[in-house]
């Protein structure tokens, strides 16, 4: 390992963290607050409140590897269809990191389908913000696991450790 390179990288990373911390403490946009508000609205199925936090030209990769949902109208249509299939929504965030106008998230989608099947799916996501609104959203998760859970497979035991941790919200 080249220690000089490591120390230089560490110094840059520390500077980025200090910059982000200074912005947050100076009253700059609190992106995590926006996400919390979106999640609370989603749990209530208040789609207008969810969409109030999305930019008109949002690009949402609800599953990276699938085509994107582009624009607020398309997002409204998708979210309307998706939430119609969801009950007892317990979407949670375990951790987050911010760099400039990007927020990196680790969480779990957790809900019961209208057929009574539990879907508990760990994921990572990235949200980019412009003017305090989400302009880009990318979710990374195991699509095969999602499909099996929606089909009625019992969540595997190993998910318990990943999804039962204390959440930020």
> What pLDDT digit, counting tens, does each position of 155-164 carry?
999 999 999 9
* CB environment 105-121: b (16+ within 10 A), e (fewer): bbbbbbbbbeeeeebbb
> Residues 7-13: what's their mean pLDDT?
40
pLDDT of residue 14: 40
- Does an H or E element contain 73, and which? helix 72-84
Q: Which residues pair with 106 in a beta bridge?
A: 95, 124
The predicted-structure confidence for 114-138, as pLDDT tens digits, reads as follows 999 999 999 999 999 999 999 999 9
Distance CA(100)–CA(20), nearest Å, equals 7
* Half-sphere exposure (Cβ direction) of 16: Cα atoms closer than 13 Å: 12
* CB environment 68-78: b (16+ within 10 A), e (fewer): bbebbeebbee
Model confidence at 140, pLDDT cuts 50, 70, 90, reads very high
The predicted-structure confidence for 17-56, as pLDDT tens digits, reads as follows 444 444 444 333 489 999 999 999 999 999 999 999 999 9
Cα 53 versus chain centre, distance: 13
The predicted-structure confidence for 68-120, as pLDDT tens digits, reads as follows 999 999 999 999 999 999 999 999 999 999 999 999 999 999 999 999 999 99
Identify the structural domains of the chain with CATH numbers, from first to last.
29-163 (3.10.450.50)
pLDDT of residue 66: 95
């Amino acid at each position: 390992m080249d220690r000089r390179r490591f120390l230089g990288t560490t110094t840059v990373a520390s500077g980025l963290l200090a910059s982000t911390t200074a912005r947050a403490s100076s009253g700059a946009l609190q992106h995590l607050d926006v996400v919390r508000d979106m999640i609370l609205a989603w749990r209530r199925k208040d789609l207008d409140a969810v969409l109030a936090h999305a930019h008109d030209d949002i690009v949402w990769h609800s599953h990276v590897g699938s085509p994107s949902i582009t624009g607020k109208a398309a997002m409204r249509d998708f979210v309307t269809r998706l939430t119609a299939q969801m009950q007892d929504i317990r979407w949670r965030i375990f951790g987050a990191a911010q760099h400039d106008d990007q927020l990196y998230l680790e969480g779990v989608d957790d809900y019961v389908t209208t057929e009574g099947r539990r879907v508990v799916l760990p994921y990572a996501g990235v949200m980019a913000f412009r003017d305090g609104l989400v302009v880009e959203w990318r979710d990374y998760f195991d699509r095969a696991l999602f499909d099996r859970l929606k089909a009625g497979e019992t969540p595997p035991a190993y998910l318990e450790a990943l999804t039962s941790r204390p959440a930020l919200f």
